[in-house]
């Protein structure tokens, strides 16, 4: 039998390795930034074009490379970090396998300029698809500049799997955050399509976090500090009142390397138990320092998943440390059974003496006397005519106090058609009722209609907002006093992307280029107190990648608004609102399903009811 096992050519092996190392442009950014840090750089610039598809360039002022090292750096498994297998258990650097540059060069056009401090001239290397095109002597500053162009130019199938430029830029920004947050001693600059996104000076950890996520973050941080024989924990947690309904600022770093650990995340969440709602996520920036021999960072190609020797002990220490910080800084409530708050003296009255109250009584006062003159000669008390006081409460019922005004016909979209015919509308108008504040039940010719009030209203609002965004006829309710909200630079960039759609719905903004944004107008259905929550939800949904599911910006925005503004389960609807809900639902283009593909109503036929009694 002929031999069937063959050695793969180097260029094929490099492309296969690239599939593990380079998943998207953000993977290239991660590898190049980590190489710059390992080179001892104190200033790093990241330049990106078209979401990293056209250009990713990292410029640093690190050690640089000699002519020989520059050539060897693009060979597979060529590294300066380890010399034998034992070194894998004492790693202090980011990259160590020597696969990154070789894998990147296999699927892109690479330009590298590098020079060491000892040499007067540097090297200029050009590589296309693992093939070295040229290597020349050139005058260049100390350090290294690597430009990666036309990613996946020789693998069209991989390039087709990349998302839009905005989505890829968000992934690049996430990787930039992960590197910048753990190295506050390095100055970072981030440019996208010629405009500067981040300018991060050298700072401490607290300042670096506020530079990345906005100045408002500084007031929300609670310091965490603990040192044991197993681990040293430092960093910050975000106060419970700022917990979000989406995964936001959650960062674990082990030995100055970003990691993902659901197990340790659960330890932090359990420490917040009782302080946040079950559907909310706490924010944290936690730095773990452990013995390098007790952690394995080589179990995954991206090196974000790691394995600790003693995870159970680490879990217990982390949970108790976070709990201690919440209590130490008076974030968590403390029960004092011996303390009587009635005995507390208000702060403003601590230095004041007691003042006896002066009470004067008019002994000649007679409430039944129709009129009299006061001692000053002016007209005093006079009994008012209270005849007909019962009329003040005419037409007022207990149901009207729970009236949900947002479901009235005037506030809703114009009904295109009603579920009932004109002849039977009047007869059927009184037959709807609310079941357990969750369903609206009505009788129809074939039996009984049961409508899920939350899902039905989501469908109504979704089509309403979608029409307003596309037709641009949204009605805006101007605020008497503009509301000021603070956002991080990344949140501002996301708001700018959807600004036009938000304007079409009814939102109006001022100063969208600054950290503090003024909201001057909102859609009619948005209350002033809920503006911040709605905008946070829009930013979170957009960040989590609704667009990755081939969803347009208009659909994403309409879904988010409908989910936040729809009537919730548990809210009471009056008779008119119930009828309006049913009619508006069947005036929709797709009444059977909510925007999230869930049933909005069901019909129980008269035959099904008869079978129950057979």
Name the pLDDT band for 33 (thresholds 50, 70, 90). very high
The whole model's pTM is what? 0.69
Answer with the residue of higher pLDDT: 554 or 405. 554
Contact 73, 168 (CB under 8 A): no
CA 178 – CA 172 distance, rounded (Å): 10
List own/partner pairs for 514-517 with CB under 8 A and 24 or more apart.
515/214, 515/215, 515/216, 515/486, 515/487, 515/488, 515/489, 516/484, 516/485, 516/486, 517/484, 517/485, 517/486, 517/487, 517/492
In this model, does residue 244 exceed pLDDT 60?
yes
Calpha distance 261→443 (Å, rounded):
53
- pLDDT at position 405 is 40
Q: Which of 137-151, 291-305, 509-523 has the highest mean pLDDT?
A: 137-151
**pLDDT computed for residue 207 by the predictor:** 93
Average pLDDT over residues 267-288: 90
Quick one: pLDDT band at residue 353, thresholds 50, 70, 90? confident
CA nearest 218: which of 199, 182, 242? 242
Q: Is pLDDT of 19 > 70?
A: no
Sign of CA pseudo-dihedral 74, 77, 83, 89: positive
Q: Is the pLDDT of residue 613 over 50?
A: yes
**Exposure on the CB side of residue 194, measured as CA atoms within 13 A:** 0
pLDDT at 411 over 50: no
pLDDT of residue 59: 96
pLDDT at 344 over 90: no
- Given a cut of 50, whether residue 246 has pLDDT beyond it is yes
Mean pLDDT over the full length of the chain: 80
In whole angstroms, what is the distance from residue 578 CA to residue 584 CA? 10
How high is the pLDDT of residue 130?
A: 83
- Out of 8-17, 55-64, 70-79, 417-426, the most confident range is 55-64
Helix, coil or strand: residue 559 = helix
Please state, in angstroms and rounded to a whole number, the distance separating the CA atoms of residues 102 and 72.
10
Beta bridge partners of 440: 434, 451
For residue 289 the two structure tokens come to 């320092």
Q: For residues 493 and 515, what is the distance between their CA atoms, to the nearest angstrom?
A: 11
Q: Is the pLDDT of residue 285 over 50?
A: yes
- Encode pLDDT of 433-468 as tens digits: 888 889 999 888 888 899 999 999 999 999 988 888
What share of the chain has pLDDT > 90, as a percent?
31
- Which residues are CB-contacts of 601 (< 8 A; sequence separation ≥ 6)? 449, 450, 451, 452, 456, 585, 591, 592
Predicted confidence at residue 98, as pLDDT, reads 57
With cut-offs at 50, 70 and 90, classify the pLDDT of residue 416: very low
pLDDT band at 419 (very low <50, low <70, confident <90, very high): low
Q: How many CB atoms lie under 10 A from the CB of residue 533? A: 13
Q: Model confidence at 415, in pLDDT bands (50, 70, 90)?
A: very low
pLDDT of residue 252: 93
Q: Contact at 8 Å (CB) between 52 and 78?
A: no
Domains, the chain, ordered by start: 10-202 (3.30.565.10), 206-328 (3.30.230.10), 401-614 (3.30.1370.100)
Q: CA-based diameter of the chain, in Å?
A: 129
Give the Å distances, CA to CA, from 108 to 13, 66, 77, 146, 434: 15, 23, 19, 12, 62
pLDDT in tens, 356-410: 778 878 778 877 776 555 444 444 445 555 556 556 555 555 444 444 444 443 3
Supply 578's token pair: 């119930």
Token pair recorded at residue 97? 């396998």
34 or 419, which is more confident? 34
Task: Check residues 311 and 429 and name the one with the higher pLDDT.
Answer: 311
Q: In this predicted structure, which of 29-38, 268-277, 287-296, 492-501 has the lowest mean pLDDT?
A: 492-501
| pLDDT of the residue at 409 | 36
Residues 482-487 have a mean pLDDT of 83
Which tens digits make up the pLDDT trace of 85-113?
Answer: 555 555 556 655 557 888 888 889 999 99
Instruction: State yes or no: pLDDT of 424 exceeds 50.
Output: no
List all residues 6 or more positions away from 253 whose beta carbon is below 8 Å from its beta carbon: 181, 182, 235, 259, 286, 287, 288
Give the pLDDT score at 141: 93
Q: Mean pLDDT lowest for which of 267-281, 318-332, 388-402, 422-436? A: 388-402
| Rg of the chain (C-alpha set) | 33
E strands, 338-464, are 433-435, 439-444, 447-452
Average of per-residue pLDDT across 11-29: 76
* Confidence (pLDDT) at 556: 81
pLDDT over 70 for what percent of the chain? 78
User: Is the pLDDT at 471 greater than 90, yes or no?
Assistant: no
pLDDT band for position 37 (cuts 50, 70, 90):
very high
Higher pLDDT: 35 or 540? It is: 35
Instruction: Identify the top-confidence range among 69-78, 368-377, 399-408, 580-589.
Output: 580-589
For residues 215-247, one letter each, b for 16 or more C-beta atoms within 10 angstroms of the residue's C-beta and e for the rest, the string is eebeebbbebeeeeebbebbbbbbbbebbbeee
């Amino acid at each position: 039998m002929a031999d069937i096992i063959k050695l793969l050519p180097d260029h094929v092996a490099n492309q296969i390795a690239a599939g593990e190392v380079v998943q998207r442009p953000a993977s290239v950014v991660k590898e190049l930034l980590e190489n710059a840090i390992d080179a001892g750089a104190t200033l790093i610039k990241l330049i990106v074009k078209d979401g990293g598809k056209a250009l990713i360039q990292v410029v640093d002022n690190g050690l640089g490379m000699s002519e020989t090292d520059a050539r060897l750096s693009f060979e597979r498994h060529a590294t300066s970090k380890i010399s034998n297998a034992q070194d894998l258990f004492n790693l202090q650097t980011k990259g160590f396998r020597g696969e990154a540059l070789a894998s990147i060069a296999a699927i892109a056009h690479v330009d590298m300029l590098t020079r060491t401090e000892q040499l007067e001239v540097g090297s200029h290397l050009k590589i296309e698809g693992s093939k070295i095109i040229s290597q020349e002597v050139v005058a260049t500053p100390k350090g290294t500049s690597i430009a990666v162009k036309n990613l996946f130019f020789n693998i069209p199938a991989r390039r087709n799997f990349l998302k839009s430029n905005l989505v890829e830029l968000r992934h690049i920004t996430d990787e930039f955050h992960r590197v910048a947050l753990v190295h506050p001693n390095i100055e970072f600059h981030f440019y996208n399509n010629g405009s500067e996104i981040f300018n991060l000076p050298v700072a401490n950890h607290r300042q670096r976090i506020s530079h990345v996520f906005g100045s408002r973050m500084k007031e929300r941080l609670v310091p965490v500090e603990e040192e044991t024989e197993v681990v040293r924990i430092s960093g910050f947690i975000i106060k419970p009142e700022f917990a979000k309904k989406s995964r936001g600022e959650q960062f674990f770093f082990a030995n100055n390397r970003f990691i993902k650990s659901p197990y340790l995340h659960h330890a932090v969440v359990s420490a917040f138990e009782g302080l946040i709602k079950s559907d909310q996520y706490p924010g944290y920036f936690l730095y773990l320092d452990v013995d390098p021999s007790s952690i394995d960072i080589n179990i995954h190609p991206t090196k974000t998943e790691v394995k600790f020797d003693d995870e159970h002990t680490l879990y217990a220490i982390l949970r108790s440390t976070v709990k201690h910080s919440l209590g130490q800084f008076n974030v968590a409530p403390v029960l004092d059974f011996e303390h009587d708050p009635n005995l507390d003296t208000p702060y403003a009255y601590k230095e004041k003496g007691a003042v006896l109250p002066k009470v004067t009584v008019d002994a000649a006062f007679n409430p039944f006397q129709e009129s009299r003159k006061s001692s000053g000669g002016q007209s005093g008390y006079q009994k008012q005519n209270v005849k007909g006081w019962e009329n003040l409460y005419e037409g007022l019922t207990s149901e009207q106090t729970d009236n949900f005004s947002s479901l009235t016909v005037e506030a809703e979209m114009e009904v295109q058609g009603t579920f009932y015919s004109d002849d039977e509308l009047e007869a059927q108008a009184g037959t709807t009722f609310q079941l357990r504040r969750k369903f609206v039940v009505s009788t129809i010719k074939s039996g009984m209609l049961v409508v899920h009030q939350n899902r039905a209203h989501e469908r109504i609002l979704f089509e309403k907002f979608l029409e307003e965004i596309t037709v641009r006829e949204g009605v805006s309710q101007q605020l008497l006093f503009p509301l000021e909200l603070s956002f991080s630079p990344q949140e501002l960039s996301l708001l700018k992307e959807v600004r036009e759609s938000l304007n079409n719905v009814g939102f109006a903004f001022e100063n969208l280029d600054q950290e503090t944004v003024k909201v001057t107008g909102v859609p009619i259905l948005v209350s002033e107190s809920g503006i911040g929550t709605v905008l946070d939800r829009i930013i979170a949904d957009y960040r989590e990648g609704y667009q990755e599911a081939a969803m347009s910006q208009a659909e994403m925005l309409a879904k988010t608004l409908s989910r936040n503004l729809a009537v919730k389960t548990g809210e009471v609807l009056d008779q008119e609102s119930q009828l309006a809900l049913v009619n508006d639902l069947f005036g929709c283009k797709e009444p059977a399903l909510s925007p999230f593909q869930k049933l909005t109503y069901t019909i129980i036929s008269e035959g099904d009811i008869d079978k129950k009694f057979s």
